[in-house]
Amino acid sequence: MREIRTFEMGYDEPATAWRADHALVVEVEQGTLWLTFEGDAEDYWVDSGQSFVLPAGMRAWIGAGRGDVRLTLSSASSRGKVGNDVSRAGPARTRSAIAHGLGSRGRQALA
């Protein structure tokens, strides 16, 4: 059995910081999620239907990119995604790993 948590954030709510104890799969169910990572000056936008792995120990700031956003969190190990490049990304590798894990819009945000 695995735990899945759903979060909703309004556009007018302040961004929040997360640090994962273990690798987490973040899936955007609705809206656009804004995020940035500790040690990375870039901003990233994750659209509805896209997901990424937040590596264990990585600190990220998240917020609603445009309008409200709904996302789900689940353990990466229970989903079999621990081997994904994003799950191994450290601060120096975050940018290329996120580019690998996101669709074309996410990659464009990295350029």
Q: pLDDT per residue over 19-68, tens digit each?
A: 888 888 999 999 999 988 888 888 989 999 999 888 888 899 999 988 89
Least confident of 9-13, 51-55, 60-64, 90-94: 90-94
For 98-108, write each residue's pLDDT tens digit.
Answer: 444 444 444 33
Flag whether pLDDT at 82 surpasses 80.
no
Q: What is the mean pLDDT of residues 67-93?
A: 60
Query: Which phi and psi (to 5°) does residue 102 adopt?
Result: -105, 165
More reliable by pLDDT, 30 or 110 = 30
What is the domain partition of the chain in residue ranges?
4-110
CATH number at 4-110: 2.60.120.10
Sign of CA dihedral 88, 94, 98, 100: negative
